[in-house]
């Protein structure tokens, strides 16, 4: 498959391309394009909008994520270097960032997450049971997007009857291609609705606190001051973006991979102890998060002469699929012993929800294969990925 980008001259002596990350494409086209760019460049310039840098050298990506003094989180959106919005904790730099992470750490610690295992298992199992008799389903809609959202809503203390509304918002906010929503009007409308929803949920808890994360956060103090409503809201919005779509995308890739690799599938069914490393391998090979940072000073990274104030895109896929870091990097190998992938990021902003995500993914794969060990891709479907974060738009399986 040719995945080449359209050249667009050079910028400061570095090759430039019209690289628009919002566009969707056929299954695996994004991953293959990153591989191709990483083979031929350590970095390049995108000429989309005001322009930004893209680093495609694996070690350089990791180095930038660690160096928060040079690569700030004040903006994490390449197209908006000076955002008028705030997402907490993602858009904070240390030392304020550390204070939030310390407070949030308790609810997302390995112990707190392990205590939810029975509940996660039950919700996942019940969701699969609902579709098992049908013999076919779009497993993203019917399973992968549904069960982690239920768990997340419980964690935040949000009413479960709002699940369908949440799933609609997630779709409008995160899954539309540039073609489907060229002026981002649908995305903006959904964002306003999500924002108003969380304002209401915060006000309800100010009146009567409950036993949930949002209510607990109201009693937290930073530098002697209670967290105000504006910051609580900024936290809710980030949780909505970070916590909702990532596990579904990963479950989708896991089921896609095991559907298209029947020998590996039979191996994990015969020996479920292979699932834990299998899941880590799926996270590595299909890594889909593309962090971005704003340079605080002039710096060269991946061969790009970045100026203070410019945006830099740092795709995790180039580190996770780097042939210098992994032997046979594109193979999902549950026997692999190198487990240093960066699918959850690196440095101070490494994923807060990684323990929960791991639990949900492992449980999803285990419970699915206990119930439906043999399955395949349904015929006559064109598998497509959406832009921004590369997840499958839909995945129809039959069994």
Residue nearer to ligand HEM on the CB measure, 259 or 364: 364
- Using only C-alpha atoms, the chain has a radius of gyration, in whole angstroms, of 21
What is the full DSSP assignment across 287-307?
Answer: -----EEEESS-EEETTEEEP
Q: Binding of ligand HEM at residue 89 (CB under 6 A)?
A: yes
The helix/strand count (H/E) of the chain reads as 16, 16
Dihedral angle sign, alpha carbons of residues 237, 90, 391, 279: negative
Beta carbon of residue 313, minimum distance to ligand HEM (angstroms, whole number): 11
**How many of the chain's residues bind ligand HEM (CB under 6 A)?**
24
β-strand pairing of 292-295 with 221-222: unpaired
Encoded one letter per residue, x for contact with ligand HEM by CB under 6 A and - for no contact, window 46-65 reads: -------------------x
Task: Kindly state the DSSP code that residue 245 receives in the 8-state scheme.
Answer: S
Residues 271-300 that bind ligand HEM (CB under 6 A): 289, 291
**Residue 379 has which token pair?**
């015929």
Q: How many CB atoms lie within 10 A of CB 179?
A: 10
The SS3 assignment for 61 reads helix
Residues 171-230 that bind ligand HEM (CB under 6 A): none
Query: Cα separations (Å) of 188 from 151, 182, 194, 313, 377?
Result: 26, 12, 10, 23, 34
- Environment class of 303 (CB within 10 Å of its CB; exposed 0-12, middle 13-18, buried 19+): middle
Q: Binding of ligand HEM at residue 357 (CB under 6 A)?
A: yes
Beta carbon of residue 68, minimum distance to ligand HEM (angstroms, whole number): 10
Q: Binding of ligand HEM at residue 246 (CB under 6 A)?
A: yes
Q: Binding of ligand HEM at residue 344 (CB under 6 A)?
A: yes
Residue nearer to ligand HEM on the CB measure, 101 or 186: 101
Q: Binding of ligand HEM at residue 356 (CB under 6 A)?
A: yes
The SS3 assignment for 195 reads helix
Beta carbon of residue 357, minimum distance to ligand HEM (angstroms, whole number): 4
Q: Binding of ligand HEM at residue 156 (CB under 6 A)?
A: no
What are the residues whose beta carbons fall under 8 Å from the beta carbon of 28, sequence distance 6 or more? 1, 385
Closest residue by beta carbon to ligand HEM? 353
Among 43, 353, 387, 391, binds ligand HEM (CB under 6 A): 353
- Contact range with ligand HEM by CB under 6 A, out of 48-56, 160-168, 352-360, 373-381: 352-360
The SS3 assignment for 26 reads strand
**Residue 104 has which token pair?**
């949030």
Residue nearer to ligand HEM on the CB measure, 52 or 181: 52
8 Å CB contact between 237 and 198: yes
Beta carbon of residue 351, minimum distance to ligand HEM (angstroms, whole number): 3
Among 23, 167, 204, 242, binds ligand HEM (CB under 6 A): 242
Q: Binding of ligand HEM at residue 320 (CB under 6 A)?
A: no
Q: Which residue has 């013999």 as its token pair?
A: 135
- Contact range with ligand HEM by CB under 6 A, out of 122-130, 132-140, 200-208, 347-355: 347-355
Q: Binding of ligand HEM at residue 345 (CB under 6 A)?
A: yes
Residues 99-138 that bind ligand HEM (CB under 6 A): 101
Q: Binding of ligand HEM at residue 343 (CB under 6 A)?
A: yes
8 Å CB contact between 213 and 157: yes
- Environment class of 57 (CB within 10 Å of its CB; exposed 0-12, middle 13-18, buried 19+): buried
Beta carbon of residue 239, minimum distance to ligand HEM (angstroms, whole number): 6
| Residues contributing to the site for ligand HEM (CB under 6 A) | 65, 76, 89-90, 101, 152, 238, 242-243, 246-247, 250, 289, 291, 316, 343-345, 349, 351-353, 356-357
């Amino acid at each position: 498959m040719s995945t080449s980008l359209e050249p667009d001259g050079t910028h400061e002596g570095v090759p430039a391309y019209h690289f628009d990350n919002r566009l969707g494409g056929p299954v695996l086209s994004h991953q293959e394009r990153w591989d191709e760019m990483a083979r031929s460049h350590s970095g390049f310039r995108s000429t989309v909008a005001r322009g930004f840098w893209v680093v495609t050298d694996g070690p350089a990506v990791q180095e930038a994520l660690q160096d928060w003094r040079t690569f700030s989180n004040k903006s994490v959106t390449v197209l908006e270097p000076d955002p008028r919005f705030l997402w907490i904790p993602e858009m904070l730099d240390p030392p304020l960032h550390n204070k939030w992470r310390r407070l949030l750490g308790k609810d997302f610690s390995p112990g707190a997450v392990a205590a939810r295992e029975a509940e996660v298992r039950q919700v996942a199992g019940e969701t699969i049971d609902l579709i098992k008799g049908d013999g076919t389903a779009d497993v993203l809609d019917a399973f992968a997007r549904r069960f982690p959202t239920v768990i997340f809503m419980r964690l935040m203390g949000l009413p479960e009857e709002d699940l369908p509304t949440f799933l609609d918002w997630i779709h409008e906010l995160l899954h539309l291609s540039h073609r489907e929503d060229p002026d981002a009007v649908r995305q903006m409308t959904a964002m306003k609705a999500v924002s108003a929803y969380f304002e209401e949920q915060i006000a309800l808890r100010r009146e009567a606190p409950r036993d949930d994360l949002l209510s607990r956060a109201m009693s937290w103090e930073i530098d002697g001051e209670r967290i105000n409503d504006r910051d609580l809201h900024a936290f809710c919005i980030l949780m909505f973006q970070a916590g909702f779509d990532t596990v579904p995308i990963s479950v989708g890739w896991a089921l896609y991979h095991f559907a298209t690799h029947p020998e590996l599938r039979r191996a994990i069914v015969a020996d479920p102890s292979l699932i834990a490393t299998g899941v880590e391998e799926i996270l590595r090979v299909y890594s889909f998060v593309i962090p971005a940072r704003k340079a605080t000073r002039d710096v060269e990274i991946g061969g790009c002469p970045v100026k203070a104030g410019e945006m830099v895109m740092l795709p995790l896929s180039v580190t996770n699929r780097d042939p210098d870091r992994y032997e046979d990097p594109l193979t999902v190998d549950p026997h692999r012993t190198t487990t240093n992938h960066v699918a959850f990021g690196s440095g101070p902003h490494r994923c807060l929800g990684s323990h929960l995500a791991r639990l949900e993914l492992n449980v999803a794969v285990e419970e699915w294969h206990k119930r439906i060990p043999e399955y395949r891709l349904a015929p006559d479907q064109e598998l497509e990925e959406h832009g921004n974060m590369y997840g499958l738009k839909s995945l129809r399986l039959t069994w």
